[in-house]
Amino acid sequence: MTERERFIETVLFGKPDKIPFTPGWPRESTLKRWHKEGLPSERDWYEFLLEILGIKPESVGQIENIDISFQMIPKFEEKVLEHKNGHYLIQDWMGAIVEISDEYDYTYIQQAKDFVTRKWHKFPVENQSDWEKMKLRYNPDDPYRLSKDFSEKCSRIRNRDYLFSIGFAGPFWQLREWCGFENLCIFMAEQPDFVLEMINFWKDFVAKMLTTILTEIIPDRVLISEDMAYKEKSMISPDMVKEFLLPSWQFWLDIIKKSGCPVIEMDSDGYIGELIPLWIEAGFNVCTPIEIAAGNDLIVYRKRFGKKMAYRGGIDKRLIAKGGLVLEKEINRVVSFLLKDGGYIPMCDHGVPSDISWNNFVEYSRLLAKLTSWL
Protein backbone atom coordinates (compact mmCIF):
# COMPACT_ATOMS: atom_id res chain seq x y z
CA MET A 1 0.00 0.00 0.00
CA THR A 2 1.04 3.60 -0.50
CA GLU A 3 1.29 5.99 2.46
CA ARG A 4 -1.93 7.59 1.29
CA GLU A 5 -3.85 4.33 0.96
CA ARG A 6 -2.60 3.05 4.31
CA PHE A 7 -3.71 6.13 6.24
CA ILE A 8 -7.19 6.20 4.74
CA GLU A 9 -7.68 2.45 5.09
CA THR A 10 -6.63 2.60 8.75
CA VAL A 11 -8.84 5.44 9.93
CA LEU A 12 -11.84 4.14 7.97
CA PHE A 13 -11.65 0.77 9.79
CA GLY A 14 -10.44 -1.08 6.73
CA LYS A 15 -7.67 -3.66 6.33
CA PRO A 16 -4.33 -1.89 5.86
CA ASP A 17 -1.13 -3.89 5.28
CA LYS A 18 0.22 -2.16 8.42
CA ILE A 19 -0.63 0.84 10.57
CA PRO A 20 1.02 4.22 9.80
CA PHE A 21 4.16 4.60 11.93
CA THR A 22 3.95 8.06 13.52
CA PRO A 23 5.48 7.98 17.03
CA GLY A 24 5.16 11.75 17.47
CA TRP A 25 7.02 14.97 16.71
CA PRO A 26 9.66 16.49 19.01
CA ARG A 27 9.77 20.17 19.89
CA GLU A 28 12.92 22.27 19.58
CA SER A 29 14.01 21.75 23.20
CA THR A 30 13.47 18.00 22.81
CA LEU A 31 15.77 17.86 19.80
CA LYS A 32 18.43 19.82 21.72
CA ARG A 33 18.34 17.17 24.43
CA TRP A 34 18.42 14.30 21.93
CA HIS A 35 21.45 15.79 20.18
CA LYS A 36 23.31 15.43 23.49
CA GLU A 37 22.12 11.83 23.88
CA GLY A 38 23.05 10.21 20.59
CA LEU A 39 20.99 11.81 17.81
CA PRO A 40 23.50 13.32 15.35
CA SER A 41 22.79 17.03 14.93
CA GLU A 42 23.17 16.83 11.17
CA ARG A 43 20.64 14.00 10.79
CA ASP A 44 16.89 14.15 10.39
CA TRP A 45 15.55 12.59 13.59
CA TYR A 46 12.91 10.45 11.85
CA GLU A 47 15.26 9.07 9.22
CA PHE A 48 17.83 8.23 11.91
CA LEU A 49 15.15 6.57 14.04
CA LEU A 50 14.10 4.33 11.14
CA GLU A 51 17.75 3.44 10.60
CA ILE A 52 18.19 2.42 14.24
CA LEU A 53 15.02 0.35 14.18
CA GLY A 54 15.89 -1.30 10.90
CA ILE A 55 12.83 0.00 9.06
CA LYS A 56 13.36 0.69 5.39
CA PRO A 57 12.03 4.15 4.48
CA GLU A 58 9.21 4.07 1.96
CA SER A 59 9.69 6.09 -1.17
CA VAL A 60 6.89 8.50 -1.99
CA GLY A 61 6.40 10.81 -4.90
CA GLN A 62 7.57 14.40 -4.90
CA ILE A 63 5.55 16.04 -2.14
CA GLU A 64 4.12 19.36 -3.25
CA ASN A 65 2.21 21.94 -1.25
CA ILE A 66 -0.38 24.14 -2.88
CA ASP A 67 0.00 27.22 -0.66
CA ILE A 68 -3.47 27.99 0.70
CA SER A 69 -3.97 30.72 3.31
CA PHE A 70 -6.97 30.99 5.63
CA GLN A 71 -5.08 33.59 7.69
CA MET A 72 -5.67 37.31 7.80
CA ILE A 73 -4.34 39.37 4.89
CA PRO A 74 -2.61 41.63 5.63
CA LYS A 75 -1.15 40.42 8.92
CA PHE A 76 -0.32 42.85 11.72
CA GLU A 77 3.23 44.10 12.01
CA GLU A 78 5.24 41.94 14.40
CA LYS A 79 7.21 44.13 16.75
CA VAL A 80 8.70 44.31 20.23
CA LEU A 81 6.87 46.95 22.25
CA GLU A 82 8.89 46.62 25.44
CA HIS A 83 11.80 44.63 26.87
CA LYS A 84 12.40 44.56 30.60
CA ASN A 85 12.75 42.21 33.57
CA GLY A 86 13.57 39.25 31.33
CA HIS A 87 10.43 39.55 29.21
CA TYR A 88 9.38 40.83 25.81
CA LEU A 89 6.03 42.54 25.24
CA ILE A 90 5.21 41.80 21.60
CA GLN A 91 2.54 42.65 19.08
CA ASP A 92 2.14 39.41 17.16
CA TRP A 93 1.00 38.93 13.57
CA MET A 94 -2.60 38.38 14.72
CA GLY A 95 -2.74 41.77 16.47
CA ALA A 96 -2.57 40.48 20.05
CA ILE A 97 -0.26 42.00 22.66
CA VAL A 98 1.66 39.09 24.18
CA GLU A 99 4.33 38.74 26.85
CA ILE A 100 6.96 35.99 26.65
CA SER A 101 10.33 35.29 28.23
CA ASP A 102 13.28 36.87 26.42
CA GLU A 103 14.65 33.36 26.16
CA TYR A 104 12.44 33.30 23.06
CA ASP A 105 11.29 35.72 20.37
CA TYR A 106 8.18 36.22 18.28
CA THR A 107 9.06 33.33 15.96
CA TYR A 108 8.01 31.02 18.80
CA ILE A 109 4.51 32.48 18.54
CA GLN A 110 4.41 32.07 14.76
CA GLN A 111 5.12 28.33 14.94
CA ALA A 112 4.84 25.62 17.59
CA LYS A 113 8.59 25.27 18.02
CA ASP A 114 8.37 24.58 21.73
CA PHE A 115 6.23 24.68 24.86
CA VAL A 116 6.32 28.41 25.54
CA THR A 117 4.38 30.08 28.37
CA ARG A 118 2.71 33.28 27.23
CA LYS A 119 0.65 35.99 28.86
CA TRP A 120 -1.88 37.88 26.75
CA HIS A 121 -2.44 41.56 27.55
CA LYS A 122 -4.80 42.64 24.74
CA PHE A 123 -6.65 41.20 21.76
CA PRO A 124 -7.51 42.89 18.46
CA VAL A 125 -11.31 42.52 18.69
CA GLU A 126 -12.82 43.98 21.85
CA ASN A 127 -15.92 45.65 20.39
CA GLN A 128 -17.98 46.08 17.23
CA SER A 129 -15.69 48.79 15.87
CA ASP A 130 -12.65 46.50 16.16
CA TRP A 131 -14.63 43.76 14.45
CA GLU A 132 -15.51 45.93 11.46
CA LYS A 133 -11.79 46.54 10.91
CA MET A 134 -10.87 42.88 11.38
CA LYS A 135 -13.35 41.73 8.73
CA LEU A 136 -11.42 43.67 6.09
CA ARG A 137 -8.49 41.29 6.53
CA TYR A 138 -10.54 38.26 5.45
CA ASN A 139 -11.42 38.75 1.81
CA PRO A 140 -11.82 35.19 0.44
CA ASP A 141 -11.14 36.48 -3.09
CA ASP A 142 -7.79 38.04 -2.23
CA PRO A 143 -5.38 36.73 -4.89
CA TYR A 144 -2.69 36.16 -2.26
CA ARG A 145 -4.75 33.39 -0.65
CA LEU A 146 -3.68 30.94 -3.36
CA SER A 147 -0.39 30.61 -5.18
CA LYS A 148 -0.32 31.92 -8.74
CA ASP A 149 0.23 28.40 -10.08
CA PHE A 150 -2.48 26.88 -7.85
CA SER A 151 -4.32 25.10 -10.67
CA GLU A 152 -1.11 23.69 -12.15
CA LYS A 153 0.00 22.38 -8.75
CA CYS A 154 -3.38 20.77 -8.14
CA SER A 155 -3.17 19.04 -11.50
CA ARG A 156 0.27 17.64 -10.67
CA ILE A 157 -0.74 16.13 -7.30
CA ARG A 158 -4.02 14.47 -8.27
CA ASN A 159 -2.32 11.10 -8.74
CA ARG A 160 -0.22 11.36 -5.57
CA ASP A 161 0.82 8.42 -3.38
CA TYR A 162 1.20 10.55 -0.24
CA LEU A 163 -1.50 11.94 2.05
CA PHE A 164 -2.72 15.38 1.04
CA SER A 165 -4.46 17.43 3.73
CA ILE A 166 -5.79 20.91 4.22
CA GLY A 167 -6.53 22.50 7.58
CA PHE A 168 -8.08 25.57 9.10
CA ALA A 169 -9.36 26.92 12.41
CA GLY A 170 -12.84 26.14 13.65
CA PRO A 171 -15.10 28.93 14.94
CA PHE A 172 -14.08 28.57 18.60
CA TRP A 173 -10.36 28.66 17.79
CA GLN A 174 -10.72 31.57 15.39
CA LEU A 175 -12.85 33.74 17.65
CA ARG A 176 -10.52 33.04 20.54
CA GLU A 177 -7.65 34.43 18.45
CA TRP A 178 -9.66 37.54 17.67
CA CYS A 179 -11.20 38.17 21.09
CA GLY A 180 -9.23 36.15 23.65
CA PHE A 181 -10.61 33.20 25.57
CA GLU A 182 -12.05 35.08 28.56
CA ASN A 183 -13.53 37.85 26.42
CA LEU A 184 -15.09 35.29 24.07
CA CYS A 185 -16.76 33.46 26.93
CA ILE A 186 -18.13 36.74 28.30
CA PHE A 187 -19.41 37.67 24.85
CA MET A 188 -21.12 34.28 24.56
CA ALA A 189 -22.96 34.93 27.81
CA GLU A 190 -23.66 38.65 27.43
CA GLN A 191 -23.54 39.39 23.67
CA PRO A 192 -24.52 36.15 21.90
CA ASP A 193 -25.69 38.00 18.79
CA PHE A 194 -22.22 39.55 18.41
CA VAL A 195 -20.63 36.12 18.72
CA LEU A 196 -23.01 34.63 16.14
CA GLU A 197 -22.23 37.50 13.79
CA MET A 198 -18.52 36.72 13.96
CA ILE A 199 -19.10 32.96 13.68
CA ASN A 200 -21.34 33.34 10.64
CA PHE A 201 -18.76 35.56 8.98
CA TRP A 202 -16.08 32.91 9.57
CA LYS A 203 -18.45 30.15 8.42
CA ASP A 204 -19.06 31.94 5.13
CA PHE A 205 -15.40 32.87 4.64
CA VAL A 206 -14.26 29.26 5.12
CA ALA A 207 -17.08 27.94 2.92
CA LYS A 208 -16.01 30.24 0.08
CA MET A 209 -12.40 29.12 0.46
CA LEU A 210 -13.44 25.46 0.50
CA THR A 211 -15.53 25.88 -2.63
CA THR A 212 -12.57 27.46 -4.45
CA ILE A 213 -10.17 24.73 -3.35
CA LEU A 214 -12.46 21.76 -3.88
CA THR A 215 -13.21 22.70 -7.48
CA GLU A 216 -9.52 22.03 -8.22
CA ILE A 217 -8.40 19.30 -5.81
CA ILE A 218 -10.03 16.83 -3.43
CA PRO A 219 -7.91 16.37 -0.28
CA ASP A 220 -7.59 13.05 1.51
CA ARG A 221 -8.14 14.76 4.83
CA VAL A 222 -9.51 18.02 6.16
CA LEU A 223 -8.28 18.91 9.66
CA ILE A 224 -10.27 21.44 11.69
CA SER A 225 -8.59 22.77 14.84
CA GLU A 226 -10.58 23.90 17.88
CA ASP A 227 -8.52 23.26 21.07
CA MET A 228 -11.65 23.66 23.16
CA ALA A 229 -11.11 21.60 26.32
CA TYR A 230 -9.38 21.77 29.69
CA LYS A 231 -8.36 18.90 31.91
CA GLU A 232 -11.58 16.98 32.80
CA LYS A 233 -13.97 19.46 31.11
CA SER A 234 -14.61 21.21 27.80
CA MET A 235 -14.13 24.98 27.77
CA ILE A 236 -17.78 25.64 27.01
CA SER A 237 -20.78 23.45 27.75
CA PRO A 238 -22.18 20.96 25.22
CA ASP A 239 -25.30 23.15 25.00
CA MET A 240 -23.18 26.15 24.03
CA VAL A 241 -21.34 24.01 21.50
CA LYS A 242 -24.68 23.12 19.93
CA GLU A 243 -25.75 26.76 19.86
CA PHE A 244 -22.56 28.39 18.61
CA LEU A 245 -20.33 25.82 16.89
CA LEU A 246 -22.29 22.85 15.59
CA PRO A 247 -24.07 24.72 12.74
CA SER A 248 -20.74 25.84 11.23
CA TRP A 249 -19.23 22.37 11.51
CA GLN A 250 -22.25 20.81 9.83
CA PHE A 251 -22.28 23.42 7.07
CA TRP A 252 -18.60 22.88 6.24
CA LEU A 253 -18.70 19.11 6.56
CA ASP A 254 -21.60 18.91 4.15
CA ILE A 255 -19.48 20.72 1.55
CA ILE A 256 -16.43 18.56 2.29
CA LYS A 257 -18.30 15.25 2.16
CA LYS A 258 -20.00 16.12 -1.10
CA SER A 259 -16.56 16.69 -2.62
CA GLY A 260 -15.58 13.08 -1.89
CA CYS A 261 -12.96 13.78 0.80
CA PRO A 262 -12.92 10.62 2.99
CA VAL A 263 -11.39 11.88 6.25
CA ILE A 264 -12.58 14.84 8.34
CA GLU A 265 -10.59 15.20 11.54
CA MET A 266 -11.04 17.28 14.68
CA ASP A 267 -7.99 18.51 16.60
CA SER A 268 -8.56 19.44 20.24
CA ASP A 269 -6.41 19.14 23.31
CA GLY A 270 -7.91 18.48 26.75
CA TYR A 271 -10.76 16.26 27.90
CA ILE A 272 -13.00 15.47 24.94
CA GLY A 273 -15.40 12.86 26.35
CA GLU A 274 -18.38 15.22 26.29
CA LEU A 275 -17.43 16.62 22.88
CA ILE A 276 -17.01 13.42 20.84
CA PRO A 277 -20.80 12.85 20.55
CA LEU A 278 -21.16 16.35 19.10
CA TRP A 279 -18.30 15.78 16.67
CA ILE A 280 -19.94 12.55 15.53
CA GLU A 281 -23.22 14.41 15.08
CA ALA A 282 -21.43 17.03 12.97
CA GLY A 283 -19.88 14.33 10.77
CA PHE A 284 -16.26 14.11 11.93
CA ASN A 285 -14.81 10.60 11.69
CA VAL A 286 -11.36 11.07 13.31
CA CYS A 287 -10.07 13.07 16.28
CA THR A 288 -6.65 13.80 17.74
CA PRO A 289 -4.45 13.92 19.96
CA ILE A 290 -6.37 12.29 22.88
CA GLU A 291 -4.37 13.61 25.84
CA ILE A 292 -4.36 11.01 28.60
CA ALA A 293 -3.36 13.44 31.38
CA ALA A 294 -6.61 15.35 30.70
CA GLY A 295 -8.73 12.34 31.68
CA ASN A 296 -9.29 10.71 28.27
CA ASP A 297 -9.40 6.92 28.02
CA LEU A 298 -9.34 5.43 24.52
CA ILE A 299 -10.63 2.05 25.62
CA VAL A 300 -13.67 3.71 27.22
CA TYR A 301 -14.25 5.76 24.06
CA ARG A 302 -14.00 2.76 21.77
CA LYS A 303 -16.49 0.82 23.87
CA ARG A 304 -18.82 3.82 24.02
CA PHE A 305 -18.64 5.11 20.45
CA GLY A 306 -17.57 2.02 18.52
CA LYS A 307 -16.62 2.64 14.91
CA LYS A 308 -18.31 6.04 14.77
CA MET A 309 -14.97 7.67 15.62
CA ALA A 310 -11.34 6.85 14.81
CA TYR A 311 -8.40 8.23 16.78
CA ARG A 312 -4.82 9.40 16.34
CA GLY A 313 -2.64 9.74 19.42
CA GLY A 314 -3.45 8.50 22.89
CA ILE A 315 0.01 7.32 24.05
CA ASP A 316 0.68 8.97 27.41
CA LYS A 317 3.74 11.22 27.08
CA ARG A 318 4.39 10.85 30.83
CA LEU A 319 4.82 7.10 30.44
CA ILE A 320 7.10 7.51 27.43
CA ALA A 321 9.30 9.62 29.71
CA LYS A 322 9.30 6.86 32.33
CA GLY A 323 9.96 4.10 29.83
CA GLY A 324 10.53 0.48 30.85
CA LEU A 325 7.87 -2.02 31.84
CA VAL A 326 5.27 0.60 32.84
CA LEU A 327 5.31 2.00 29.30
CA GLU A 328 5.33 -1.43 27.66
CA LYS A 329 2.36 -2.57 29.74
CA GLU A 330 0.29 0.53 28.85
CA ILE A 331 1.11 0.40 25.16
CA ASN A 332 0.20 -3.26 24.96
CA ARG A 333 -3.04 -2.60 26.84
CA VAL A 334 -4.26 0.36 24.79
CA VAL A 335 -2.80 -0.22 21.35
CA SER A 336 -3.58 -3.92 21.19
CA PHE A 337 -7.19 -3.31 22.24
CA LEU A 338 -7.86 -0.61 19.66
CA LEU A 339 -6.04 -2.25 16.78
CA LYS A 340 -8.38 -5.24 16.99
CA ASP A 341 -11.13 -3.13 15.42
CA GLY A 342 -8.92 -0.69 13.50
CA GLY A 343 -9.61 3.02 13.29
CA TYR A 344 -6.55 3.90 15.33
CA ILE A 345 -3.10 5.35 14.64
CA PRO A 346 -1.07 5.30 17.87
CA MET A 347 1.31 8.14 18.65
CA CYS A 348 2.38 10.44 21.49
CA ASP A 349 -0.64 12.34 22.77
CA HIS A 350 0.81 15.77 21.89
CA GLY A 351 4.17 17.24 20.90
CA VAL A 352 7.02 15.14 22.32
CA PRO A 353 8.35 17.08 25.37
CA SER A 354 11.96 17.40 26.45
CA ASP A 355 11.59 15.16 29.51
CA ILE A 356 11.56 12.20 27.11
CA SER A 357 15.10 10.92 26.56
CA TRP A 358 16.35 9.76 23.18
CA ASN A 359 16.83 6.20 24.44
CA ASN A 360 13.29 6.05 25.85
CA PHE A 361 11.87 7.46 22.63
CA VAL A 362 13.72 4.86 20.57
CA GLU A 363 12.49 2.01 22.77
CA TYR A 364 8.95 3.35 22.73
CA SER A 365 9.14 3.61 18.93
CA ARG A 366 10.40 0.03 18.74
CA LEU A 367 7.37 -1.19 20.71
CA LEU A 368 5.08 0.81 18.44
CA ALA A 369 6.75 -0.50 15.28
CA LYS A 370 6.23 -4.10 16.40
CA LEU A 371 2.56 -3.60 17.23
CA THR A 372 1.88 -1.81 13.93
CA SER A 373 3.63 -4.50 11.81
CA TRP A 374 6.73 -2.54 10.80
CA LEU A 375 9.02 -4.95 12.67
Where would I find the beta strands (DSSP E) of 102-200? 119-122, 165-169
Please tell me the CATH code under which domain 3-71+124-371 is placed.
3.20.20.210
Bridge partners, residue 312, by sequence: 345
In order along its 375 residues, the chain shows pLDDT tens digits of 999 999 999 999 999 999 999 999 999 999 999 999 999 999 999 999 999 999 998 877 678 888 899 999 999 999 999 999 999 999 999 999 999 999 887 777 777 678 788 899 999 999 999 999 999 999 999 999 999 999 999 999 998 999 999 999 999 999 999 999 999 999 999 999 999 999 999 999 999 999 999 999 999 999 999 999 999 999 999 999 999 999 999 999 999 999 999 999 999 999 999 999 999 999 999 999 999 999 999 999 999 999 999 999 999 999 999 999 999 999 999 999 999 999 999 999 989 999 999 999 999 999 999 999 999
The pTM (predicted TM-score) of the whole model is 0.95
Which tens digits make up the pLDDT trace of 351-360?
999 999 999 9
Which tens digits make up the pLDDT trace of 309-349?
999 999 999 999 999 999 999 999 999 999 999 999 999 99
For Cα atoms 183, 248, 265, give the angle at the middle one, nearest 5 degrees. Answer: 100
User: How many C-beta neighbours within 10 Å does residue 70 have?
Assistant: 18
Q: Which amino acid is at 316?
A: D
Coil/strand/helix, residue 112: coil
Question: What's the confidence (pLDDT) of residue 61?
Answer: 65
Question: What's the confidence (pLDDT) of residue 65?
Answer: 81
Q: How far apart are CA 26 and CA 374, in angstroms?
A: 21
Q: How far apart are CA 309 and CA 307, in angstroms?
A: 5
Question: What's the confidence (pLDDT) of residue 63?
Answer: 82
Contact of 208 with 140, CB cutoff 8 Å: yes
**CA separation (Å) from 66 to 145, 153, 155, 261?**
10, 6, 10, 17
**CA separation (Å) from 172 to 3, 151, 221, 279, 345?**
32, 31, 20, 14, 26
Residues of the chain with CATH 3.20.20.210: 3-71+124-371
β pairing state of 263-268 and 221-225: parallel
